[in-house]
């Protein structure tokens, strides 16, 4: 079955980006809304204050399905 319709995901947090990824094969058009402009490079965003913090999981990512 070919993708059809439109899906709208509100929020470009990790949850929103994962939801958009999960839905993209079912819908012909994806719309991702966020209050911040999404940069092309890894920089801090106003809507993600914890983004400036050093995250322990970045040093050694562990897939969620293996924990």
| pLDDT tens digits, one per residue of 15-51 | 888 999 999 889 999 999 988 887 787 777 776 666 6
As given in the structure block, the two tokens for residue 10 are 């509100």
Write the CB contacts of 19 (distance below 8 Å, at least 6 apart in sequence): 9
Q: Is 1 contained in some domain?
A: no
For residue 65, is it within any domain? no
Query: Looking at the domain assignment, is residue 66 inside a domain?
Result: no
- Domain residues for 21? 6-60
Contact 2, 25 (CB under 8 A): no
State the pLDDT at residue 67.
Answer: 47
Please report whether residue 21 resides in a domain. yes
State how many domains the chain has: 1
Phi-psi region of 5 (alpha: psi -120 to 50; beta: other; left: phi over 0): left
Q: What is the reported pTM?
A: 0.60
What is the pLDDT, as a whole number, of residue 2?
Answer: 76
Is residue 26 in some structural domain? Answer: yes
Q: Which residue shows structure tokens 């562990």?
A: 62
């Amino acid at each position: 079955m070919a993708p059809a319709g439109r899906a709208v995901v509100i929020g470009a947090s990790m949850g929103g980006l994962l939801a958009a990824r999960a839905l993209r094969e079912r819908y012909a058009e994806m719309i991702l809304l966020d209050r911040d402009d999404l940069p092309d490079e890894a920089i801090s965003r106003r809507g993600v204050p914890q983004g400036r913090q050093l995250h322990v999981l970045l040093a050694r990512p562990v897939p969620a399905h293996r924990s």
